[in-house]
Amino acid sequence: MLGLMASQSHQPDLLSSCVRIMLDHGEVEGMSEQWLRTLIQLEPDEFRTLDLRIRALIAGNQIDKAIALLQSELEAEGREPDELVDFRESAAASLNELALKFEVSGRLAHAQRLSSYAEDLYRSVYK
């Protein structure tokens, strides 16, 4: 994977996939961090980039920072109403996925916190 990334590091699809795989396997620092910074430069406004930033923070046990980052993006001006709905749905789904991983690993307080925030996001969409 390292050789492929060295030659294709300008490809956002490949970068995001590799960062996601690395984060899912517990690598928070090192190459995943470097590739995430590159992805942020290539597509700073894409949801998948934000999602990976949040996942990296959560994987690094920085849940408060992850939630603050998500909240600031939700409050950012300039999003169309339909875009904001999609954004909230995607964020809620991502947080639910992460909450399940915490639950499986026995970190129930973290799981509950993420689930609760995801539920709030869903409620804001489907009210």
Distance, in Å, from the CA atom of 88 to the CA atom of 106, rounded to the nearest integer, reads 27
pLDDT digits (tens, 9 = 90+) for 82-96: 888 999 999 999 999
R_g over Cα of the chain: 15
CB 85 within 8 A of CB 125: yes
Position 41 confidence tier, pLDDT thresholds 50, 70, 90? very high
pLDDT at res. 8:
52
Reply yes or no on whether the pLDDT at 65 is more than 80.
yes
Average pLDDT over residues 35-47: 92
Average pLDDT over residues 33-50: 92
Where do the domains of the chain lie?
1-60, 64-127
pLDDT at res. 53:
95
Average pLDDT over residues 27-49: 89
Distance, in Å, from the CA atom of 41 to the CA atom of 50, rounded to the nearest integer, reads 12
